[in-house]
Structures are given as structure tokens and as C-alpha cells.
Amino acid sequence: MQIVGVVLARDEDVFVERAVRNVAEVCDELLLFDHRSRDDTPLILQRLADELPHARFEAINDPRVSHHRLQPYAATDTWVFGVDGDELYHPGSLAVMRQRLEAGEFDAFWTVKGIQLHARAVNDDGTATGWVAPPARSTTKLFNFAALESWDGKTPERLHGGTPVFSRTVRETYWLRDEQPWEQAPMRCLHVCFLRRSSRQPEHQRTRVSYVERIADGGRARLRRALGGMVGRPPDSWWKLNKYRQGDEVTLPIDGFFP
């Protein structure tokens, strides 16, 4: 069994190094992709690839390339772990998760979802404040490629869209949410989507529009977004503001996320 981590980043130079380092030890391979960043993200990812012997960096113009690079792992004993530049995993919780993957505990499932905190603030007392997923929408991505024959079709970026073709019957999703409270949960993730993620990001912008949102928008929305960017007021992400802020706001300890 191997774990292949795949990072796709664009203008994420505030947190992307921590995002990569927190998952580096649990992964057997690390694929680091930069999609046309204008900040220091590609420099950071290249430096990490030079340092980490199991990491490879590639600058891409089309995010679909990041999914194409995963196709050789279909039908192999591989779990593909998708990590965004604003997703900080707890390294200790990933070590526990790897042991369970090696034991075959989740082989009957297509995906595994971990608990996540969509943070609007990282506090000075070692806590973070935000909304827990679930009930908010989860972005964690761990896929069982051993169950695949192929994954082709319209894939706008890695692990999105397309048509997975399975070689055997698998159950859809295993949710880790019901197993442990936050402090002991395996594969727990601090999602800093409501914090400033790039040195180029305006201070007043709460959360950025994702690539999938951008390509799904109609012409009027794209024009409005372009005009807002020209005057230094890019729009916030409707999806994140509405899907990631569900349930009660909570404050949770984040010991170990910033070792």
C-alpha cells in the first residue's frame, strides 16, 4: 500500500509550505502542482521538491493536467490524498490513519472523509474559531485507487468530475466524523479558507473564489469578478460563505498543527 499526496495550488504562499510539510511524512510520493501563481507559491513548492526526496514539482497552465498525472495509479494499491494549499492536517492524526489504511480497514470504500474546521480565525491562545465539517461541507479528499479501472472524462482538476470506472463493488464514503471528538480524531484538518492565503490577496477579502466556481460561472459573473479585481475588490466565494459556515461557530484547540 502506498499513499500519493497531490497538491494543486494557486497563489497560496502564506500557508502552502505548512500544508505540504504536515502531510509529507505520511506520503510515499508527493506531486506538487502550481497553476499560474503570481505570488511566491511556485518558488516554495520548487524548494520543497528539492528538499524532499519523494516530492516532484510541476508548473501547469491547465489544472486538468493534475488529474491526468494520477491516471497511472488506477488499479494499483494506492490511496490518493488530495491536499489544498489552505488545508493543514494534523501530522500525528495522519500517522494513525496510515496504520489503519495499511491494515486494510477502508478497502471496501471509495473515499474516506475526515473531520475539518473551516477557520475564520487562528487565535493567540492556541485555538481556532470556525465551523466544523460536518455539518458544514467537507473538502477532505482521500480516494481508493485500488478499486478503479480508470477515471477519465471531464475532470477540471485533480479528483474532481469525470467518470470513475470501478473494477469491483465498493461503498461510497466512510465518515470518520462519528469516531472521536476533535482532539483525538484521525485525519483532522484545519481549513484556513477564511484567512488571508496569499501575499497578493486584499486584506478585506474574506474568502476567494475557487477554480471550479470560476469555470462554472456565467459570463455576467465572470465580468463582475474581473471588474472587481481591476479595482482591488475581488468578490468573495458564494459557495464557501454558504457551504462552509453551516452549524454553530465553535472554538477548538489546534495543538500540533503548526509544529
pLDDT value at residue 232: 60
Strand order in the sheet with 127-133: 87-89, 189-191, 116-122, 127-133, 249-253
Residue pair 19/85 in contact (Cβ under 8 Å)? The answer is yes
Is the model's pLDDT at 34 over the cut of 60? yes
Contacts of 156 (CB under 8 A, 6+ apart): 63, 64, 211, 212, 215
Write out pLDDT tens, residues 45-103: 999 999 999 999 999 999 999 999 999 999 999 999 999 999 999 999 999 999 999 99
Cα separation, 34 vs 112, whole angstroms = 25
Distance of CA 82 to CAs 16, 67, 146, 157, 191, Å? 13, 10, 16, 11, 13
Write out pLDDT tens, residues 158-176: 999 999 999 999 999 999 9
pLDDT value at residue 202: 84
Question: What percentage of the chain reaches a pLDDT higher than 90?
Answer: 82
Cα separation, 180 vs 142, whole angstroms = 18
pLDDT value at residue 145: 98
Is the model's pLDDT at 212 over the cut of 70? no
Domains of the chain in sequence order:
2-194+248-253 (3.90.550), 211-243 (no CATH)
CA 158 to chain centre: 10
